Amino acid sequence: MDFKEDLELFNQAMDNAYLFVTGRIDMEDIYKAVDRGVEKFSLPFDPLKHDGRSDDIIDMLIEHFINTEEYEKCTELTKLKEKTKDELQE
């Protein structure tokens, strides 16, 4: 794998994580993608063990989307992070 392929895989993993963390896709969607022949469905965490809504994962996603200048995603992730903290405090 060369640098360009690595970068594409990394960007795809961040996009997948964004979709998963924000609830736009779930495990069923991932299983369906694999059944349709998607060879790689990369995520920066194991979705069977973690929902991706931890501060460190969300912070990593925010940093990535700042670098790619996708600020709407950053805003949504920041709100999700705050909501998740509020839910944990209740």
Q: What percent of the chain has pLDDT over 70?
A: 96
In sequence order, the 6+-apart residues with CB closer than 8 A to the CB of 42 are 9, 10, 12, 13, 16
The owner of tokens 């979709």 is 19
Is residue 69 pLDDT above 70, yes or no?
yes
What proportion of the chain, given as a percentage, has pLDDT over 90?
Answer: 77
- Integer Cα distance of 38 and 63 in angstroms: 27
3-39 pLDDT per residue, tens: 999 999 999 999 999 999 999 999 999 999 988 988 8
